């Protein structure tokens, strides 16, 4: 669906690939110092692993599992980081009227998640409810990895986390980081490219037999991979018309759709450079 254009000098670019959180990550750093770049990448990988541990349900003593085990029983005190992530997730659920939802199970629903700002507690009102962060976990990990590399001095880079990209700075030649987007059925024939420097982008492809609202695929651009990843599925479910209308009401968010007739529709914030 998308790929960072290979317009950069390989001598100044250092990449590392890893499978973490069940996702293929590719981390790219622009630097003239290979050893320094690898150290920064290793710091980012460590941060991704830390986020994975924070959001996992595979560990019995994880904060998420403690919340889930106490559903319908008692509030659970959590770290400030997790509390804020849950807050943001509930805000997105509200924005999308539940199309995005971090809850599942019996009598679930984002409206049944009770937060105490003063106590930093999370309470699932109904027994059988569960929290799951599949819609935001890899995006949040990518954002955190970017943050770690930036504070360690990386001025230009890209993190590819499966269907999400987050970029900052510029390519070695001073140009923007750019992606090319294509019909998911004709990936070798991109229809347009656009700048994504200092932004994040996530993609969702509708693989259902019946296309919701005529949408075959959508790319969502936002300041964070967490937000872009959370919005892609709800927006494609809403369809081209309603999804674009929602995005047009938001600040610093843009999207581009491919519909069932292979026509391209962009929100008012998206500037496409047509490829001929």
pTM for this prediction: 0.89
Residue 72: domain span: 63-131
Same domain, 178 and 264: yes
DSSP-derived letter for residue 56 is -
pLDDT for residue 1: 45
pLDDT for residue 7: 39
135 is in an annotated binding site: yes
Same domain, 261 and 184: yes
pLDDT for residue 183: 54
Domain count, the chain: 2
Cross-sheet strand order for the sheet of 164-168: 13-20, 23-30, 157-161, 164-168, 200-205, 215-222, 254-259, 264-266
- Considering all CA atoms of the chain, what is the largest pairwise distance in Å, rounded to the nearest integer? 60
Question: What's the CATH code of the domain at 221?
Answer: 3.10.520.10
Same domain, 117 and 168: no
pLDDT for residue 182: 58
Positions in the chain whose pLDDT score sits under 50: 1, 5-9, 11, 275-276
CB 216 within 8 A of CB 184: yes
């Amino acid at each position: 669906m998308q790929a960072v254009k290979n317009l950069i000098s390989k001598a100044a670019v250092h990449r590392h690939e890893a499978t973490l959180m069940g996702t293929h990550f590719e981390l790219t750093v622009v630097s003239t110092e290979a050893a320094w770049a690898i150290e920064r990448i290793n710091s980012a990988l460590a941060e991704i692993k830390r986020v994975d541990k924070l959001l996992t349900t595979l560990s019995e003593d994880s904060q998420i599992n403690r919340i889930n085990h106490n559903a319908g029983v008692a509030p659970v005190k959590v770290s400030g980081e997790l509390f804020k992530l849950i807050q943001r997730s509930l805000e997105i659920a509200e924005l999308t009227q539940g199309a995005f939802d971090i809850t599942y199970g019996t009598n679930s629903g984002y409206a049944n998640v009770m937060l105490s700002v003063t106590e930093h507690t999370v309470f699932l009102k109904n027994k059988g409810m569960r929290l799951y962060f599949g819609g935001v976990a890899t995006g949040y990990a990518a954002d955190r990895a970017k943050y770690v590399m930036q504070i360690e001095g990386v001025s230009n880079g890209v993190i590819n986390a499966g269907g999400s990209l987050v970029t900052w700075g510029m390519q070695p030649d001073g140009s923007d980081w750019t992606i090319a987007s294509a019909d998911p059925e004709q990936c070798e024939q991109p229809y347009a490219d656009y700048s994504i420097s200092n932004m994040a982008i996530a993609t969702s492809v509708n693989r259902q037999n019946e296309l919701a609202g005529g949408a075959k695929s959508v790319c969502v651009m936002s300041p964070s991979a967490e937000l872009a990843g959370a919005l892609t599925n709800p927006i494609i479910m809403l369809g081209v018309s309603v999804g674009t209308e929602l995005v047009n009401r938001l600040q610093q968010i843009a999207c581009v759709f491919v519909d069932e007739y292979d026509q391209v529709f962009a929100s008012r914030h998206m500037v496409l450079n047509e490829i001929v």
